């Protein structure tokens, strides 16, 4: 079954809106695992507008499942990841001012940077994943620079899904075949929800892990966190 990693950034966003410690992101990480999540994802950004670097250090010892740290590989991010040594690091091409991730890597134009960074993480035993689109040459580029996995940027799928789900998923099915043939593991994330998740994993059973934050935390406002995590897990079955 595809694993569910819960991105808890939005909980930190809510905390930061008022300051203080509430809601408690450490408790959220513990509870998500207790309620059935098979991983915790965080994406610390340089401005610390949601998850802070200190949060990452505090959360790491609490993870009993899998810890996935996402981010752009600047010097401070590299230092943080090498200090924590999570199970997985997912590199995204976000500039510091980006509101959210909105594209995959150009793995060809950034081959030098990515090769160096991935080699450093792998020397420390950290599984590596690159955020990519569905272009075959970019997936091939991910393999060439030494990534263990790719994480498909699924906003285009989510946008087209209500209109034509077959057309929405087709590029991702083709991309998954390319990745699998190259020996790359497949993750997926961005704008996945209770409405579109089941169809994606039915069409692409090779997806190992989905990382979901915004929709899941939003749903938890209505359904409660435990119930929401169980709902997402049922979609993955």
Active-site position among 38, 66, 70, 209: 70
Active site residue 48: no
Active site residue 70: yes
Q: Which helix (H) or strand (E) holds 4?
A: strand 3-7
Active-site position among 43, 50, 209, 235: 43
Nearest to 174 by CA among 157, 189, 193: 157
User: What is the CB neighbour count within 10 angstroms for residue 200?
Assistant: 25
Q: In terms of C-beta density within 10 A (0-12 exposed, 13-18 middle, 19 or more buried), how is residue 12 classed?
A: buried
Question: What is the C-alpha separation between 164 and 3, in angstroms, rounded?
Answer: 26
Active site residue 190: yes
Active-site position among 38, 190, 209, 235: 190
Residue positions annotated with a catalytic role: 43, 70, 190
């Amino acid at each position: 079954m595809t694993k569910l990693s819960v991105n808890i950034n939005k909980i930190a966003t809510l905390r930061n809106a008022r300051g203080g410690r509430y809601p408690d992101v450490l408790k959220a990480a513990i509870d998500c695992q207790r309620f059935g999540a098979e991983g915790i994802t965080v994406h610390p950004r340089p401005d610390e507008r949601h998850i802070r670097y200190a949060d990452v250090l505090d959360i790491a010892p609490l993870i009993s499942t899998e810890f996935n740290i996402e981010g752009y590989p600047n010097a401070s991010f590299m230092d943080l990841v090498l200090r924590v040594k999570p199970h997985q690091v997912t590199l995204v091409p976000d500039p510091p001012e980006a509101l959210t991730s909105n594209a995959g890597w150009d793995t060809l134009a950034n081959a030098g940077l990515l090769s160096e960074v991935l080699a450093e993480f792998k020397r420390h035993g950290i599984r590596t994943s690159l955020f990519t689109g569905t272009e075959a040459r970019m997936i091939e580029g991910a393999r060439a620079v030494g990534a263990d996995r790719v994480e498909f940027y699924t906003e285009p799928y989510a946008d087209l899904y209500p209109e034509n789900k077959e057309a929405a998923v087709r590029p991702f099915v083709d991309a998954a075949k390319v990745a699998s043939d190259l020996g790359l593991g497949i993750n997926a994330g961005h704008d996945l929800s209770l409405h579109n998740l089941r169809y994606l994993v039915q069409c692409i059973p090779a997806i190992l892990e989905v990382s979901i934050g915004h929709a899941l935390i939003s749903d938890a406002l209505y359904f409660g966190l435990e119930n929401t995590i169980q709902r997402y897990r049922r979609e993955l079955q």
